[in-house]
Amino acid sequence: MFDAMCGIAGFCGAGDVGDIRAMTEALAHRGPDGFGYHADEAYRLFLGHRRLAILDIGGGTQPMWNETATIAVIFNGEIYNHVELRAELERLGHRFASDHSDTEVLVHGYEEWGEELPRRLNGMFAFAVWDSERAQLFLARDRFGEKPLFYSKGTGFFAFSSELRSLASHCNFDASLDVRSLQKLFAYGFFPAPRTPYRHAAKLPGGSWLRFDLRSGAITTHRYWQFSLMRDDAMFSRKEDDLVDELDHLVTQAVRRRLISDVPVGVFLSGGVDSSAVLAAATDIVGKGRLETFTIGFNERSFDESAHASRVAQIFQSLHNEQKLDLAQARDLIPSLLDKVGEPLGDSSLLPTYLLCEFARRKVTVTLSGDGADELFAGYDPFHALRAASIYKSGVPNVLHGIIRNFVGKLPVSTRNMSLEFKLKRTLAGLSYGPELWNPAWLGPLAPSMIERLFDERICAEELYEEALALWNASPRLSLVEKTLEFYTQFYLQDGILTKVDRAAMMNSLEARAIFLDNDLVDFSSRLPTAFKYRDGVGKYLLKKVLARKVPTDLVSRPKKGFGIPLAAWLREIPERIPLEKIAGIDLAEVAKLWHQHRNRRSNHAIALWVWLGLQAFGRRVATG
């Protein structure tokens, strides 16, 4: 059984018990049900843990030790294959003090397999092992980075934590901001791992482990897993119905693994393909009329999917809960939300995600989500643009492209969700570059030329997007669609979507479990040929075939709306006073221009201005400590 979702923190070297208490208290929202500490004065090592009880509610105190008290673990997450691993470890001679703890599996698993342990785990996790005999800390993060883990190293000092705010609570932490990382935030809309807003803090990438040797002070990091497409052409010879059966089985298996809990479990429901497939599988397992579903709707109709969610809920007879969001609520919520989140995030759907989590937490402690399906099965709008973009790029000279872009740039600014005007301007902005930069340019808040003006610095686009370029160049055999799949899976999913969901859920002491990131389901997706993901303009082709067996066809084929908010319209009115507090490296006059252009309806800078609001909240927190 799973012990808990938690927050973890620790350090060695400079500092004292007051620092570990401050770091751990900063994680209280991640674990309101209990806490634990450990101090090893000989090594000046301090470990802290906050606990949100999901299963084994009466136990699960951490750090958890082996029999000889030489190895301890603090753990944030869930190990879905812990029963199988426990059985294997018992066959190898390990003796467990509990009969159900997934945390104890990590203790004995590290004893047996050491650094090979993370690759054996199916789950979402961030954990730290203290190996006192070797005087080493071993940190690891799950394959996609569902659970966060940050670290910092200075002279005579090493610290780690689940959140940057906790890390910055240590008295020796250097809170200097990193200007290049801030530039990348405006380029991507998120901080690509290992970057953070701090110069002296790093994010351990998903699928990685870190070893810190207390005697030498040396840090070693290693990528034990990375998503990559390994097309299995043998799948072409199989009947399509067989592949649909297999995917259906894998989704159901992933849901079954994530339904285990001693506290109430619900489902986030948008009415789209992903969440509907999750609800369908969960209903097959537990029966109709037993699952709580949760939806956030909007008074602005072009953003609202609540009617579709309600229809899906009726089909599966879930206990459906719906809440609407409007401008008045947003005006009050945005400042406090950006202050609480602890780091700048470029995705404004943080707001409805936070409200959805808050809404769900009133009735449940665990929710199931469809996160990951768009990335693994080609569900995003840019997949539809790739063919036309390639034809345009090969046939339209640069001079004509400039004329076309200038003409389209004069179209009236629309605030509707994914309007044609918005799509055209975004697409043409990306097409100013080669295909290797289309995806980050389409996704990012600002174009490189605008980032140059914002930071008053000459910036090379290839340096801004160096992470995306490295991934592009690492896979020369892949098609444009496949390269786009890898981009969204390795960057947007991990450093954008999963970061947003974790923070929104944990601010409400809610655990969100991503069904589509199950190891077996991901491995199937990586082998599945692209033709079963994107075919004749249809994204998530095979997944839609699964859902079409369970709901009416029109619910499967309707256009994707996305979990957006009317941000462009809202930012014309809120905040009432434009915030212009100084942030390292940024020209405030240029920020003011963005705000004025947006409020005068000359441009839509909503994404960049949301980033700026997040930076302002973050900067105030840094300044005040």
Assess whether the previous peptide bond of 445 is cis (omega < 30° from 0): no
Question: pTM score > 0.85 for this model?
Answer: yes
Separation of alpha carbons 174 and 154, rounded Å: 8
Among 59-63, 169-173, 530-534, whose mean pLDDT is lowest? Answer: 59-63
User: Helix 448-455 and helix 588-599: axis angle, to 10°?
Assistant: 130
Q: In the predicted model, what is the mean pLDDT of residues 508-530?
A: 96
| pLDDT > 70 fraction of the chain, expressed in percent and rounded | 95
| pLDDT > 90 fraction of the chain, expressed in percent and rounded | 78
Strand, helix or coil at 163? coil
The reported pLDDT for the residue numbered 326 is 72
Q: Two tokens at 466?
A: 């160096």
Q: What is the per-residue DSSP string for 65-97? A: E-TTSSEEEEEEEEETTHHHHHHHHHHTT---S
User: Helix 273-286 and helix 306-316: axis angle, to 10°?
Assistant: 20
Tell whether the model's pLDDT for residue 150 goes beyond 60: yes
Q: Which residue has the tokens 């462009």?
A: 568
Tell whether the model's pLDDT for residue 59 goes beyond 60: no
Q: In the predicted model, what is the mean pLDDT of residues 83-91?
A: 95
Burial 279-292 (b: 16+ CB within 10 A, else e): bbbbbbeeeeeebb
Chain centre to alpha carbon of residue 157: 29
The reported pLDDT for the residue numbered 1 is 47
Tell whether the model's pLDDT for residue 3 goes beyond 60: no
Burial of 540 from C-beta contacts in 10 A (0-12 / 13-18 / 19+): buried
Q: What is the per-residue DSSP string for 500-515? A: HHHHHHHTTT-EEEEG
Q: What is the per-residue DSSP string for 202-236? A: EEPPTTEEEEEETTT--EEEEE---------GGGG
The reported pLDDT for the residue numbered 58 is 41
Q: Two tokens at 449?
A: 């030329």
List the one residue out of 543, 148, 228 whose CA is nearest residue 370: 543
Q: In the predicted model, what is the mean pLDDT of residues 8-23?
A: 95
Q: In the predicted model, what is the mean pLDDT of residues 49-64?
A: 64
CA angle 318–319–325, rounded 5-degree value: 110
Separation of alpha carbons 460 and 464, rounded Å: 6
Separation of alpha carbons 130 and 212, rounded Å: 10
Q: In the predicted model, what is the mean pLDDT of residues 410-427?
A: 80
List the one residue out of 522, 465, 466, 473 whose CA is nearest residue 493: 522
> Dihedral of CA 314/318/319/324: which sign?
negative
Tell whether the model's pLDDT for residue 414 goes beyond 90: no
The reported pLDDT for the residue numbered 411 is 84
pLDDT in tens, 153-196: 988 899 999 999 999 999 999 999 999 999 999 999 999 999 99
Tell whether the model's pLDDT for residue 558 goes beyond 70: yes
Mean per-residue pLDDT of the chain: 92
Q: Per-residue confidence at 57, pLDDT binned at 50, 70, 90? A: very low
The reported pLDDT for the residue numbered 625 is 57
The reported pLDDT for the residue numbered 623 is 59
Question: 246 to each of 241, 337, 621, how far by Cα in Å?
Answer: 9, 41, 49
pLDDT in tens, 220-275: 999 999 999 999 999 999 999 999 999 999 999 999 999 987 678 999 999 899 99
Tell whether the model's pLDDT for residue 290 goes beyond 80: yes
Of residues 388 and 415, more confidence is placed in 388
Of residues 325 and 381, more confidence is placed in 381
